[in-house]
Amino acid sequence: QVQLVESGGGLVQAGGSLRLSCAASGSIFSINAMAWYRQTPGKQRQLVAAITSGGSTNYYADSVKGRFTISRDNAKNTVYLQMNSLKPDDTAVYYCNGRGFNGPLWTWGQGTQVTVSS
């Protein structure tokens, strides 16, 4: 079982930036697509960005396109989410996970809280 540990969240003013990190245990990290999701109270978890195993193809939700960048370092078993031009609507708990054909692959980590003040 892969364990996921997200970090890098915090409180930032609108227009600011944060860089999230997700460290994954296990040697299967490099062969799987990875993704970042976010969730706010009372709402379903939303896919924010995804990246293929080799990092060649990315997906972004329309709401973050042009502001967020997903990347990965397979040597470090880590996936990143660079978030720029943050908006209050970006406030959520952010999670990472492997992404398979049917969605998330592994047990969720604890997530990291991102709060954007106006």
**pLDDT tens-digit series, residues 91-105:** 999 999 999 988 899
- Residues 6+ away with beta carbon under 8 Å from 62: none
**pLDDT tens-digit series, residues 41-71:** 999 999 999 999 988 888 999 999 999 999 9
Question: How many alpha carbons fall within 13 Å on the CB side of residue 66?
Answer: 3
- Residue 29 has a pLDDT of 78
Q: What spatial distance separates the first Cα and last Cα of the chain, rounded to whole Å?
A: 39
**pLDDT tens-digit series, residues 21-32:** 999 997 777 789
Q: Is the pLDDT of residue 17 over 90?
A: yes
